[in-house]
Structure 1
Amino acid sequence: MSLPMQIFNLFAVTASYFFIFAATFSIQKRAMEVNGGENEKRLVKLKCSVQNYDWGRIGYDSRVARLFERNCGGLVDEKKHYAEFWIGTHVSGPSFVEGTDNVSLKSWILQNPKVLGDVVVEKWVRDLPFLLKVLSVGRSLSIQAHPDKELAGLLHKLQPNVYKDANHKPEMALALTEFEALCGFISSEELDVVLESVPEINELVDNSCVDQVLTVDKNNGEVKEDRVLWSIFTKLMSVDREAISTALSRLISRLNCEKEIRELTSKEELVLKLEKQYPNDVGVLAAFLFNFLKLNPGEALYIGANEPHAYLTGECVECMAASDNVVRAGLTPKYMDVKILCSMLTYKQGLPEILKGVPLNPYTRRYTPPFEEFEVDRCVLTRGATVVFPEVPGPSVFVVISGEGSMMTSSSEESVSEGSALFVPAGTEVCVSTESELELFRAGVNNKVLMNPLQ
């Protein structure tokens, strides 16, 4: 065969491959467009992750375990702790799209970014900015705080195995049962009382610090209360373990004796309980310095960056910015970073705000913390009731806590029951109905951000 003919044949074969590739690409592009159009309005059922931390409730005593079993069909281990049920895209506990070959929600969103809406894509790129959880707390979580963005970025860079991402983690806990927590530092007046009535703390910190607190109101502002509180808290948290053990032994002995002749305060009763959970732990003493809160079902507590807190007992729905960063310094066997925690805290004093929700309709209340990433709706439907969640220009995730019913959009309908978790694209109206009863929660981007993205 002549050289010109060989060149011609090679050109012909190359051209044929090009046309085949172009045709295939065109078909795939049209398929993606069709699927994308469907995805923009349809309900996406999710298979979700569970976390088995030691503080979680055991076996079927844990709501988290029951939700996980109904969601994924797995067996519950009666001897295992079930602490957190996660709905979101975070790498530490990703959700997966039901009916796919293990496609994560994060990957699915990357392939279908329109489901987030323009505001979210512009502000947070191609990912959910929030993470929704259900918690079943059997015993106290650690005394902890979550870093702001600047500190989170630094900690992640220095210790990526401990601090898993570079994001901040403002959060909100919405009580499903009676829910107890420590949150924020007590007022100056309460601190005076503690320092006068808990000698075991006085023995561990410099007496000059105590004297400053007791006389600060008389010093015409020469001594700042937050600096005095910082000094006391830092010195207490830095005391060696042997001294803490000795002080706790005296404290517990004293309280048990006094219990025979007087009624202990709720904080003193809590300290006795915490010491049984975490013997010889400085966090037991530190509990005297924090607000002790009891939430009723339907009440919510929000916590900003650098605010100390510890959940104690109960079950809740929790929403937060998409992060897993925690700095710990007590009531835990896990890694603690006392110096970082003491240096990062705001040292604000006084009770935190408790949200009771704003009614949207007879069945739904909205809880809006002062954070951009999220808000939460709680919906409790009675027998035969129907409610509509209007379309919003951002994504939502839903989790069904109890009951059964149906959810419907303009292009899909799904039967839902306890444990069902769903992603709903931006711009999608959702109708929920039940012939029995149904309790569910919706998490979405803070509506103020969606409506005023430039603010």
Structure 2
Amino acid sequence: MNRLTNTVRPYAWGSTTAIPELLGTAPTGEPQAELWMGAHPGAPSRIDRGAGPIALDAVIDADPVAELGEATVKRFGPRLPFLLKVLAAAAPLSVQVHPDLAQAKAGFADEEARGIPLDAPHRNYKDPNHKPEMIVALSPFEGLCGFRRPTEAADLLDALGVGALAPYADILRAHPEDRALREVLAAVLGAEPEAMAATVHAATEAAARLADTPGTPYAADYAAYARAAHHFPGDRGIIAAMLLNHVRLQPGEALFLGAGVPHAYLDGLGVEIMANSDNVLRCGLTPKHIDVPELLRIVRFEAGDPGVLRPEAGPDGEELYAAPIDEFRLSRYVVAPGSEPRTLDHGTPQILLCTDGRIRLRTLAAANAEATDDAEITLARGESAYVPASERTELTGEGTVFRATVAA
């Protein structure tokens, strides 16, 4: 068991205050968007086992079975299969989708065969893996997730009173769900840029007015689009966003985002976990490359409820955020003072993140479940630890700790 030293990624959409407040550090004045915990080669966490700091991916590479467990290596290969983050959004992230595993493998192989450099701006597939993900709100959190029902999207567009949007509303009402959503998204992304920018400006001005009009249906949604347009004026992604469910999470609530589901995070602080991949296809709210044909091939044109998740409490106090994925398993413990110690299962690698209070971790000897004298860590708010597969760990203290591991 080792305390983690983690990297903060300073993306432009990040909050200047949320992560410093979590960590108890002074703001730098620059955006601090994501705190990475894991072994992703882009920004691996570091641990110290007595010989100085070393990157976690290097530690795992040196002995994958000891660190990850034989079963994890057999299922996912010799690398940590998940990445844990704290995400702090003060501006919208791009509207995006992720491929499924078969699509990622095929897309990566194709771009490799065509000799497209991994760092090329028009490259879609950075690795042959899928990227399902989950976000758990630590603060009130706002996002977009999955398609609205086409008739609902048509009503929302019609209420804006922008003539250029009327053909989209007509399509949404006239055709079956998958065809309607595909045709409208393709039309928005394929429209002449100057004309679309004018449509977006008119739509967001109308959205801002409606957001301030008492009793207006979708007022909160219109307010979200108007705020997004402040950061991305004229971006066609604003119209694409209007096709998606607008979601507001309260602290402790979560979203699971599977392959092909369009989504975007708009504002708030959360714990995010994902499969260890960089594969993203974007469709708006970004200056980055948008590959429209590939995007339309990957998106699942299925409407429905975004499916807000709440944790399911187990008999030992573990609160599980259930997700249909094997690469990660996310849960939390809310530890009350004086409560009985909680013993975590072992056999898979774990990252433990304290988000409130102080949590004490002790390594238990496998044979007799007694704590060893020298394997104890206290995590304050914002601090995290890595536990290799071979170690059992006991939780005590007072506070909240998130547990990231691999599904058994």
Distance apart, 1:406 and its partner CA: 1.6
Distance apart, 1:246 and its partner CA: 1.1
Q: 2:57 aligned with 1:101, yes or no?
A: no
Paired position in structure 1 for 2:173: 214
Paired position in structure 2 for 1:231: 183
Change over 3 Å in CA distance of 1:354–1:333 after alignment to 2: same
CA distance in 2, matches of 1:359, 1:327: 35
Paired position in structure 1 for 2:5: 47
Conservation of the 8 A alpha-carbon contact between 1:391 and 1:426 = no
Change over 3 Å in CA distance of 1:313–1:210 after alignment to 2: closer
Structure 2 counterpart of 1:301, from 255, 265, 274: 255
CA distance in 2, matches of 1:260, 1:79: 31
Q: 2:13 aligned with 1:62, yes or no?
A: no
Distance apart, 1:269 and its partner CA: 1.5
Superposed CA offset, 1:105-144 (max 9, x none) = 1111222322311210111121111111111111111101
TM-score by length of 2: 0.87
Superposed CA offset, 1:292-349 (max 9, x none) = 0111111110001111000011111011101122211211233333332222100110
Residue correspondence of structure 1 range 25-40 to structure 2 within 5 A: none
CA distance in 2, matches of 1:185, 1:270: 16
Conservation of the 8 A alpha-carbon contact between 1:56 and 1:137 = yes
Letter in 2 for 1:407: L
Distance apart, 1:427 and its partner CA: 4.4
Q: Which runs of 5+ in 2 are unaligned?
A: 365-371
Conservation of the 8 A alpha-carbon contact between 1:175 and 1:299 = yes
> What secondary structure does 2:242 align onto?
helix
Percent identity at matched positions? 32
Residue correspondence of structure 1 range 1-16 to structure 2 within 5 A: none
Letter in 2 for 1:107: A
Paired position in structure 2 for 1:421: 384
Letter in 2 for 1:106: D
Distance apart, 1:286 and its partner CA: 1.7
> What secondary structure does 2:185 align onto?
helix
Q: 2:40 aligned with 1:90, yes or no?
A: yes
Q: 2:156 aligned with 1:194, yes or no?
A: yes
Structure with greater proportional helix content: 1
Q: Which runs of 5+ in 1 are unaligned?
A: 1-42, 217-223, 451-455
> What secondary structure does 2:295 align onto?
helix
Moved more, 305-314 or 363-372: 363-372
TM-score by length of 1: 0.79
CA distance in 2, matches of 1:405, 1:274: 38
CA distance in 1, matches of 2:211, 2:81: 48
Change over 3 Å in CA distance of 1:252–1:392 after alignment to 2: same
CA distance in 1, matches of 2:212, 2:393: 58
Paired position in structure 2 for 1:185: 147
Conservation of the 8 A alpha-carbon contact between 1:390 and 1:428 = no
CA distance in 1, matches of 2:266, 2:208: 21
Distance apart, 1:248 and its partner CA: 2.3
CA distance in 2, matches of 1:317, 1:144: 19
Letter in 2 for 1:442: R
> What secondary structure does 2:153 align onto?
helix
Paired position in structure 1 for 2:88: 136
Letter in 2 for 1:406: R
> What secondary structure does 1:274 align onto?
helix
> What secondary structure does 1:316 align onto?
strand
CA distance in 1, matches of 2:10, 2:340: 35
Superposed CA offset, 1:88-117 (max 9, x none) = 111111111125434211111222322311
Distance apart, 1:395 and its partner CA: 1.2
Conservation of the 8 A alpha-carbon contact between 2:310 and 2:321 = yes
- Supply the RMSD in Å over aligned alpha carbons: 2.3
| Count of residue pairs the alignment pairs up | 385
Q: 2:244 aligned with 1:285, yes or no?
A: no
Change over 3 Å in CA distance of 1:48–1:279 after alignment to 2: same
Q: 2:342 aligned with 1:384, yes or no?
A: no
Distance apart, 1:360 and its partner CA: 2.1
Conservation of the 8 A alpha-carbon contact between 2:90 and 2:267 = yes
